[in-house]
Chain A
Amino acid sequence: MKLTQIKKKLWRWETSLVVLLLLEIVVFGALNPRFLKPRVLLGSINDFMSICVIALFVTSVLITGGMDIQAGSIVGLTSISIGLLWQDFGMNIWAAALLSLLIGALCGALSGFFVAYADVQPMVVTLGGSFLYSGLAIGVTNLSATESYKGISGFPSYFTGFSKFRLGGIPSQVLIFVALVVLSYLLLHKTKYGRSVFLCGVNRNAAEYSGINTRLVIMSTYVLSGISASLAGIILTSYLGTAKADFGKELTLPIITAVVLGGTSNLGGRGGVIGTALAALVIGIMRFGLSMAGLNTQYLDIPVGLLLIVAVAFRGLTGRSKWLGSLSQKLKERRKNKEKVSA
């Protein structure tokens, strides 16, 4: 009964995100017709792909009631690791990319371990993780023959090309994104594992009593988000053609924004990847559309901030008025009961 209610509510929220997305396309298309060219519109996703990819998997962290603010720093660590393994250790570029995925998984596992097994506040652990991994990234840079300010570049064109080619006019990054949405949707909403992730967020004790290894499940969400951050790092390195330690440092808040705007509760137990994917697009397209309409990049945070506050307030208000309604009803019942007793 309650689950269907939650599902209903989520559905409605995702619908409003779709409406918002369409509205954006219409408004910005009217302001600058160039915006509507499929090549331009689809191509714009290249510039906010990292946020989309990572947010998909940070969603499940938030659903367990956790928080992940370290993903951005794993992007930089991945990027510089690829460059270092390829240039200074002479490794094949794809092998380097695979190994860096493992590094991302390890980073996620380390923080996930402290959250799940040592019961440390996830915010604190991942804050520490963000400093640790971005510091490691700079430390690792010093192992390289290249001075750190230069970044490592000169990658083979088949590596820098995979993030740029178009299949029938559709950029490869869009295809990767769609594939990841499907994958994460199936994982979180169609498998037993996905249900246990939700259950951990709704009530961890209940989940534990029903035979779920909640610690492992919680830790696994951090591992997945670490891997997704590494994946974003690989794509970013390929797209920009350079490996640098400070990539991704500005992504932390946009990622959380996309997840929260997508309807995932930061208290756990509620959310979904479709909402996150839509929200990431809503934010990215809004930034792109506004700058196409001539707004200066430095002011783009203002509309995004407003959107987040208003959207969350909207959800909060509709939720709370219901809660208020039930509260007043309860009070009435209690008064009636009291009256009965006194009578």
Chain B
Amino acid sequence: MKRVLASVLAMTLLLSLLAGCGGSSAPASSAPAQQPSESKAAEPAAPAAEPAEKSDITVVFVPKLTGNAFFESANDGAQAYAAKQGFTVKYDGSPEASVANQVTVINNAIQQGMDAVCVSSVDATGLDDAMKQAKAAGLQVVTWDSDVSGDARTVMVSQGTPEILGEMLVEMGVKSLTSRGKDPAKDAVNYVWHYSQATVADQNSWQVAGEEYIRSKYPNWVNVAPNNYYSEQDAEKAISVGESILTAHSDIDLVICNDSTALPGQCQAAQNLGLTKDDVTITGFASPNSIKDYCRAGVIERWGLWDCQIQGALGCYLAYYLASGNEIKVGDSIDVPEIGTVTVMPNTVLDPGAYVADDSGVVLLPERAEFTLENMDNYNF
């Protein structure tokens, strides 16, 4: 009797689970259907192409991983911009950054018959096949933030060339070092790099460019850990790695964190050990909101980033622009509403050895931002 009761109970649970799944997916699938009616109101603002097609276009916006402040705010920017311009952005990513997961997301976009994908790739080449397949299936393929091979996508929205960003990282460190009484041009500055991992394309290219910049301009600096510190975009690991940097090298002057998880972790580590911006200089790339508290507490003076909301919006807009029947060629100038005019440059601006073709190019973000105590409250992402 008990056994029958238990089975019935468990069966009910199982059924309710399935019903729940069906239920939870139903509103999600009906969401795109509601979107067009909202976006129709905004249609006059949208440029080019036939008005009839616009509201039907869906761009799948793929982050490296979900739940990270950088990608979430890029999505916020993309969503707000798409609503104004009259197209739909579907944010789809996995909480774990991995090639296989991103391939699954792209394959699903193909099977669902989406119009375009806009991807921040976790791997420099691992998505190539999936992106080419998407292209063959008629989807428009765009990357942003972190690229795939040039022949696997049409256009990449880049935050800047490795040289621009590597120099920016070092110079932010120089400014902070100077303001605490060091002379970066003469003193032997001990520094390390702390970022996600050795297998991430963009962060490594900045590190390489930054190292070159240091060698040519500040030959007196000493990299005390040439193998770098990696925290794998794991928030807790970023803190423990940060602490081990500070305890292993008691004479460290500068920690450069060119990763949006490493920087807050490094700041927390310094705070845990009772260090302030007068003891050690920390700088790097992270969203303003994730660092504001540490800046107020006097742990960090200066850090930077590009406006990822604009980057997300620009990536999705270009995907939408392509999906509405426009072509993009190297050398073209494209008027992007509210963001400004951007120029399509050859792939070689990011990597001299890159693939060169007329229908594959790079668009640079118009500007980058440095944050300090004075200006940080002007930004909300």
Contact = CB atoms under 8 A, between A and B. Distances in A.
Interface of A: 20, 23-24, 27, 31-32, 34, 40, 43-44, 46-48, 50, 138, 141, 147-151, 153, 160, 236, 239-242, 244-250, 286, 288, 290-301, 303, 306-307, 310-311, 313-314, 317-318, 320-322, 324-325
Contacts of B199: 148-149, 151, 244-246
Contact of A288 (B103, B108, B130): B108
B10 A317 contact: yes
B129 A241 contact: yes
Interface in B83-122: 91-96, 98-101, 103-105, 107-108, 111-113
Contacts of B3: 318, 321-322, 325
Interface of B: 2-3, 5-7, 9-11, 13-14, 17-18, 20-22, 24-26, 28-32, 66-67, 91-96, 98-101, 103-105, 107-108, 111-113, 123-126, 128-130, 197-201, 204
Contacts of A249: 98
A292 B98 contact: no
Given A317-B7, A322-B3, A31 B29 contact: yes
A295 B24 contact: yes
A296 B28 contact: yes
B18 A240 contact: no
Given A240-B129, A294-B32, A314 B66 contact: no
Nearest to B14: A310
A324 B5 CA distance: 13
Contacts of B104: 47-48, 297
Question: Among A43, A298, A321, which residue has the most Cβ atoms of chain B within 10 A?
Answer: A298
Contact of B29 (A147, A150, A247, A294): A294
A114 B17 CA distance: 41
Contacts of A303: 17, 20-21, 24
B31 A294 contact: yes
A292 B108 contact: yes
B95 A301 contact: yes
A321 B201 CA distance: 56
A242 B25 contact: no
Given A31-B25, A138-B198, A294-B32, 18 more contacts: A43-B111, A44-B107, A44-B111, A47-B103, A149-B200, A240-B100, A241-B125, A241-B126, A245-B199, A290-B21, A292-B111, A292-B112, A293-B29, A300-B94, A303-B20, A303-B24, A314-B14, A317-B9
Contacts of B25: 31, 290, 293-295
A107 B317 CA distance: 48
Contact of B10 (A149, A153, A242, A313): A313
B100 A244 contact: no
Majority DSSP secondary structure for residues of A touching B: helix
Given A297-B93, A297-B105, A306-B17, A153 B6 contact: no
A284 B29 CA distance: 20
Given A295-B24, A298-B66, A298-B95, A240 B126 contact: yes
A312 to B, nearest CB: 10
A151 B13 contact: no
Given A293-B29, A303-B21, A318 B6 contact: yes
Contacts of A313: 10, 13
A43 B92 CA distance: 20
Q: Which 5 pairs, one residue from A and one from B, show the smallest C-beta to C-beta distance?
A: A294-B29, A314-B10, A293-B25, A294-B28, A317-B6
Contacts of B67: 298
B128 A32 contact: no
A216 to B, nearest CB: 34
A153 B132 CA distance: 15
B126 A151 contact: yes
Contacts of A296: 28, 66, 91-93
Given A31-B22, A149-B201, A295 B105 contact: no
Contacts of B32: 294
A239 B107 CA distance: 12
Given A292-B108, A296-B92, A298-B93, A244 B21 contact: no
B292 to A, nearest CB: 26
A107 to B, nearest CB: 20
A250 B108 contact: no
Nearest to B129: A241
Given A31-B22, A240-B126, A311 B14 contact: yes
Given A247-B99, A298-B67, A149 B124 contact: yes
Contacts of A50: 100
Nearest to A298: B66
A151 B125 contact: yes
A319 B200 CA distance: 48
Contacts of B96: 250
Contacts of B105: 291, 297
Given A27-B22, A151-B124, A151-B199, A318 B10 contact: yes
A27 B18 contact: yes
A247 B27 CA distance: 34
A288 B103 CA distance: 13
A142 to B, nearest CB: 9
Given A153-B125, A241-B128, A40 B111 contact: yes
